[in-house]
Amino acid sequence: MVEVNNFIGTPQMLSEIGINGEYYSKGQIIRLVQLQRGDDPCFATDKRYTCTEICEWGRECRKLVAQWQR
């Protein structure tokens, strides 16, 4: 089972949205989920500085992260 904040998915479910044996960061997984839902894949991108939308990952998306961790 993989947990990404409020998103919890089984390996089968992740496989169905195109996430299989390859390594993906948490941000990449969230952006893939956003794409699958038809949303803008904006998690932890520069769009977070001007974003006013309320979404399930908003709090974590907008938190400060050191440059070297991006």
What phi and psi, each to the nearest 5 degrees, are found at residue 7?
A: -95, 120
Tens digits of per-residue pLDDT, 56-70? 889 888 887 766 665
DSSP string of 4-57, one letter each residue: ETTEEE-HHHHHHTT--SS---HHHHHHHHHHHTTS---TTSGGGGT-----TT
- Determine the pLDDT at residue 4: 52
Tens digits of per-residue pLDDT, 34-59? 888 899 999 989 898 888 888 888 98
Q: What is the average pLDDT across 26-34?
A: 85
Q: How far is CA 38 from the centre of its chain?
A: 13
- Determine the pLDDT at residue 5: 47
- Determine the pLDDT at residue 42: 92
For residue 32, pLDDT over 60 is answered with yes
